[in-house]
Structure formats: structure tokens, C-alpha cells
Amino acid sequence: MQDSDAGPPLGLLEYLDLSADRSVTARQQLAFRSTLLADRLGYRRVWIPEHHGTGSPSTNPLPLVAVLGSHTTRIRVGTAVSLVRIRDPYLTAEDLATAGAFCGERLDVGLGRGAVGGPGTEVWDYLRKDDAATDRAISTIVSVLDAGCEWIDPLGTAYQRWMHGAGGRSAALAGSLGFGYCHGLFLNPDEDTCLRTLESYRAASPTGRTAVAIAMVANPDAATARSDAARQRGLQVACAGTAERCADTVQRLLERTGVDEVVLAELSRDGGDHLRALTDVFEQVAMAGPCCEPLVTGRKVGS
């Protein structure tokens, strides 16, 4: 198994393409190929989101984690996130234990406190928990994974715990539970909010692992990069440009935030462009030296 700290400080967020111009199957197949490529290149981890709605390629990430874990050997595999607010904690723990059988110590348990929204999502209303119940469910999942319960065996292997968010509450909970914390800059690109949230997390968990997740499009053709970036509704793209420019964005984020790694959601429309972008950005970050630009606050990422 690959050392999780080996290689460039890069992770991958796949199955996030929510555009309507390609079939769900095509996007799922491309994300699968991307994960195999990331495993060969040396990305540290691949995370899978949970989205419910027409055209989502990852309505249930946990079976995908098991599939990807069984087809890879080095990369860590997990969720970003499992939506605990609408999930039964015991069934979620069972699914995670199943995924762990295929990932071993490469399993990342990524939990989030968010909910589903948009047309048709009122069907989930009967499952929605309030904040207190959501936090209790997160604690239950961790307890079952670590100690088991009457009908579920404990996971039995080491794994990483991550909380994902774009504001203070998830970071505070992550710190109190000993989770790593990943801040979703593709949801809220305000850098000051990111820095304040990371600061509050580190106050509660000084040695906890941290990451930021960003969306980007890397393409040598500027017009194609801009067009591909504009396809994504509701996602804030930090960089749309050459692989060198995207790698520079990664380096600057590492310098400004002090996180352990940057997790990339690369959103090129064309499959060949996407796979090439993952390779080129990885190589550029691997070759780059430390960024010397001082921290600048009061800016949005990519500005």
C-alpha cells in the first residue's frame, strides 16, 4: 500500500460532473477510468460525492467505493460525502464495513452534515434529521465502525475519518471527534471563510489532517477551458486554464491555507481532455517548488 503522504499533495474528487450534456453512464465510466489513472500516477486519494437528482452519476457512493477499492492498489478511496442527515447510521456503517473489505486500510470515511435540495428532493423530507440528530448519527457510525454492535462486527482495519464542509459547524465537529477536515472551496470560494474555518478546526485538533477541495478545468486551449468550466451549475471553478496555471493555483492554496493536500475536481467535458489534465496537473505539481507568494486574504480563490 502506498504511503498516504508520498508523492505530490494531491487528491481527486470524481463523479462530480453534474452537467446534462453527456449520459450518466458515460460520466460514470470516465470517472472509473480516471480513478485507475490516478492510482497509477500516485494521487493520494479519490473521493466520491453523494448527489440525488436527475443526471447524478453518484447517487449512492458507498457501492462505488467498494468497486474502486477492488480495482486499485495504492490510492485511498472514500466518500465526500455520505449525507448522514438523510441516512440511517447503522445501514451506513454496514455499507462502510463492506467497502472496507475491498479497500482495507485505504478506506476514507467521509461524512457530511448537508442535505439534498432541488426539484423532487421533497421525497427525502421524511428522512431528514435536525442538526442534533445528525451529529448523534455521525457519532453512532463511528462507534459501530470501531466497536461494532449486536449484529455488526467492527471494521477491524485502520481507516481515515474525514468531515467535509464549507462553514464552521462541520469543522468544529470534526475537531471534537478527531476527524480530518476538508473545506469545499468549490461550494464557497471565499478565502477568508476558509482560513477562519481551518483556524477554528486547528484550535480544536492541532495535529488533525486538513485539505481543501477545488474545481478546475485544465486545457491548453483557453476557450475550451472557459466553456467547460461554464457547464457546471452551482460549482465555483477556481481555475480554468493551462495545466501550469492550475498547478500554480494548487501551490498557492497550499501556501495560503497550510493544508496537507488539495483535492481536485477536474471538469473537462471531453474524456481525453480530462485524463490528460489529471496527468499534466499532477506532473506540474510534482515538479513545482514551494510557492513564495505571501498569504493574501479578502480574496476569492482564483482571483
DSSP per residue, the chain: ---TTSSSSEEEE-S----SSS-HHHHHHHHHHHHHHHHHHT-SEEEE----STT-S-S-HHHHHHHHHHH-SSSEEEES-EEGGGS-HHHHHHHHHHHHHHHGGGEEEEEE-----STTGGGGGGG---HHHHHHHHHHHHHHHHH--SSS----S--EEEEEESSHHHHHHHHHHT-EEEEETTT--BHHHHHHHHHHHHHH-TT--EEEEEEEEE-SSHHHHHHHHHT-TT--EEEEE-HHHHHHHHHHHHHHH--SEEEEEE--SSHHHHHHHHHHHHHHHHH-----PPP--S-BTT-
Mean pLDDT (the chain) is 91
- Domain annotation covers residue 37: yes
Q: Which amino acid is at 272?
A: G
- Domain annotation covers residue 302: no
- Domain annotation covers residue 167: yes
Residue-level pLDDT at 20 = 81
CATH number of residue 155's parent domain: 3.20.20.30
Residue 55's pLDDT band, with cuts at 50, 70 and 90, is confident
- Domain annotation covers residue 294: no
- Domain annotation covers residue 145: yes
In this predicted model, what pLDDT tens digit does every residue of 246-272 receive, in sequence order?
999 999 999 999 999 999 999 999 999
Taking residues 52-70, what's their average pLDDT?
91
In this predicted model, what pLDDT tens digit does every residue of 15-38 receive, in sequence order?
988 888 889 999 999 999 999 999
In this predicted model, what pLDDT tens digit does every residue of 161-175 receive, in sequence order?
999 998 778 999 999
- Domain annotation covers residue 293: no
- Domain annotation covers residue 19: yes
What's the structural domain count of the chain? 1
Domain that holds residue 146: 10-287
Reported pTM: 0.92
Taking residues 120-145, what's their average pLDDT?
92
Closest by CA to 160, choosing from 28, 301, 46, 37, is 46
**For residue 160, what is its C-alpha cell?**
481515515
- Domain annotation covers residue 178: yes
